[in-house]
Structure 1
Amino acid sequence: MTHTTTDRINRVTRHGTPITDQQRDDARRLLDAILDAAKPFGLTLDNFDWVADLPGICIDVTTL
C-alpha cells in the first residue's frame, strides 16, 4: 500500500502543543524536498523507514 507524503505527515502525532496546518505543510514540503534529493541515489521513503522516522523528523524540525 502506497501512501503519499501528505498521508505520512498527517499520521505523525506529537505530545504538547498541537501541530498547525502550516507546520504540517512545511514538514510535507521538507519531506518532499529530501526525497527529491534522494531520488538520484535510488532511495525512497521505504529505504529511510528502515533507519529513521523521516516524516516525524520533518515535523520535529519544523515545529522547533
Structure 2
Amino acid sequence: MSNLNLQKAKSIANQYFTLLIEKHRALGYKVEVVEQTQNSDTSYYIKFTNSQNLSKLYEIQNIN
C-alpha cells in the first residue's frame, strides 16, 4: 500500500469513527475508549453504553 493510499485510509477511518461517535452521543450513549491487554497484545475499543447499561464495542485497528 503506498503512503498516499495509507493516508487516505486513515482519513476515511477517522471520519467514520467521528461520525459513529457523534451519532451515538446524539442517541444518548456514553462513549469511552477501552484498552484490553491479553498475553502482551493490547487492543483498543470504542465502547458505547446506553441508559440501560447495554454496550457496543468497536475495535480500533492499529495501522502503521
Q: Normalising by structure 1, what TM-score?
A: 0.44
Larger radius of gyration: 2
**Structure (1 or 2) with the greater strand fraction:** 2
User: RCO higher in 1 or 2 (8 Å CA, sep ≥ 6)?
Assistant: 1
